Amino acid sequence: MAIQDTSLLAYQTLYRSGRGPTTALKILKAMKPGRKYTQAQLEQLTGMRANSVSGRLNELVDRKFVHREVEQTRCPITKALVHRVYRPRAIRAKVKVAA
């Protein structure tokens, strides 16, 4: 299965979870698989505010759609030490198919 296919399954899973096309989906779609981002970079990519990105990133990490690095890195935008996040190369999602 191609990366695009597994990502589509992940989007469908989030959509079917009752949340619909949310800010979490917008963040997930903005992230290229394997590339690492700071929250400030995702704010710029999505045009969303810090509080929206922060909450949705936590949700995506909890649901294992996005991973957070253990070590801290200096953010190129804010210059603060932060934990970057990244989307795995392939997202495995369980999708319930309606009969």
Which backbone phi and psi does 76 adopt, to 5 degrees?
Answer: -70, -20
pLDDT tens sequence across 15-72: 566 554 578 888 988 999 889 999 999 999 999 999 889 989 998 998 888 999 999 9
Q: What's the CA gap between 62 and 78, in Å, rounded?
A: 25
Confidence (pTM) = 0.70
Name the residue with tokens 């979870």: 17
